[in-house]
C-alpha cells in the first residue's frame, strides 16, 4: 500500500439494539453518481444461506446494496468489484478475490473489503475467523473453512491503493446474532479481546467486546452493514 491512510472497521460484536421502529428506510435504490471510485477495487462477501450453520437473513441483500453503491454511485468499474454471495463464499474464493482486488486497485484508489456473515474465535483466541458458507458444525471445520482476519488484512497491504476500507459485520464470539446459541454446540463462546494490528497511518476501529452482531429491530437485515 503506497499511502498511509487506512480505515479499518472490525466489528468484533455489534449490538443491534435501541428503540424498535416499525419501518426502516429502503437502501435498495440508486443514489446520484459521484464517480469518485474510478481507481478503486472491492471484495464484497454476503452469506445468508450457510450450508450447515444458522442463516443470517438479509446478509446477501446487504451485499447487493453495497455492490450497487460501489458500482452505480461511487463509480467503481464493475469488473473490479468481486461479489461472493452465499455458497460462492468459501475460504478459497474469499482469499482469491482479495488477492485479485489488491492487484487491480489503481494508484490513489481505495481497496474495499466488506464481509457480512458469521464469525468465530480462532482456537487460540488470538484472532477472529470469518466463516465461509460451507463451514460445518465442528471446531475443526471452523478452522478449516474460516479465514483469519489477519490473513485478510495482510493481503490488503499489497497494492497501490491510498487507503483500505474494511468492514466485518460479524460477531467473533462464536454465537448466533442473538447471543443465545453457540455455532458449535459444546464449544465455549469467547469474545477475543486483543489489539488490532493496522498499518502505519490513520485508523478508525469500531467494536464492542460485550455485544453481539444482530439485525435491525423489526427488520431482517444485519444492522451494521445496512447501507
Q: Which helix (H) or strand (E) holds 130?
A: strand 128-131
> Residue 158 pLDDT more than 60?
yes
Q: What is the pLDDT of residue 190?
A: 43
Q: Contacts by 185-192 with C-beta closer than 8 Å and gap 24+? A: 185/137, 187/139, 190/121, 190/125, 191/12, 191/13, 191/121, 192/12, 192/121, 192/122, 192/125, 192/126, 192/127, 192/128
pLDDT digits (tens, 9 = 90+) for 39-81: 999 999 999 999 999 999 999 999 999 999 999 999 999 999 9
Q: What is the pTM of this model?
A: 0.78
Map out the domains of the chain with their CATH numbers: 40-163+176-192+215-227 (3.40.50.1460)
pLDDT digits (tens, 9 = 90+) for 101-148: 999 999 999 999 999 999 888 887 778 899 999 999 888 999 999 999
**Distant-in-sequence, close-in-space partners of 195: CB < 8 Å, separation ≥ 6:** none
Amino acid at each position: 500500500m503506497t499511502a498511509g491512510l487506512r480505515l479499518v472497521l472490525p466489528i468484533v460484536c455489534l449490538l443491534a439494539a435501541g428503540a424498535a421502529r416499525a419501518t426502516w428506510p429502503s437502501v435498495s435504490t440508486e443514489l446520484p453518481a459521484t464517480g469518485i471510485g474510478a481507481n478503486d477495487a472491492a471484495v464484497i462477501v454476503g452469506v445468508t444461506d450457510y450450508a450447515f450453520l444458522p442463516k443470517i437473513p438479509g446478509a446477501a441483500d446487504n451485499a447487493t446494496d453495497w455492490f450497487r453503491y460501489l458500482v452505480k454511485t461511487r463509480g467503481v468499474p464493475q469488473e473490479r468489484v468481486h461479489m461472493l454471495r452465499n455458497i460462492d463464499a468459501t475460504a478459497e474464493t474469499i482469499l482469491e478475490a482479495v488477492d485479485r482486488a489488491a492487484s487491480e486497485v489503481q494508484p490513489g484508489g481505495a481497496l474495499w473489503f466488506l464481509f457480512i456473515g458469521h464469525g468465530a474465535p480462532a482456537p487460540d483466541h488470538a484472532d477472529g475467523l470469518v466463516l465461509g458458507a460451507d463451514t460445518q458444525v465442528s471446531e475443526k471445520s471452523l478452522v478449516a473453512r474460516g479465514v483469519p482476519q489477519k490473513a485478510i488484512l495482510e493481503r490488503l497491504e499489497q497494492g497501490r491503493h491510498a487507503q483500505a476500507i474494511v468492514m466485518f459485520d460479524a460477531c467473533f464470539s462464536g454465537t448466533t446474532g442473538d447471543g443465545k446459541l453457540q455455532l458449535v454446540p459444546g464449544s465455549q463462546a469467547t469474545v477475543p479481546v486483543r489489539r488490532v494490528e493496522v498499518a502505519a497511518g490513520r485508523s478508525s476501529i469500531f467494536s464492542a467486546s460485550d455485544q453481539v452482531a444482530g439485525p435491525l429491530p423489526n427488520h431482517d437485515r444485519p444492522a451494521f452493514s445496512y447501507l
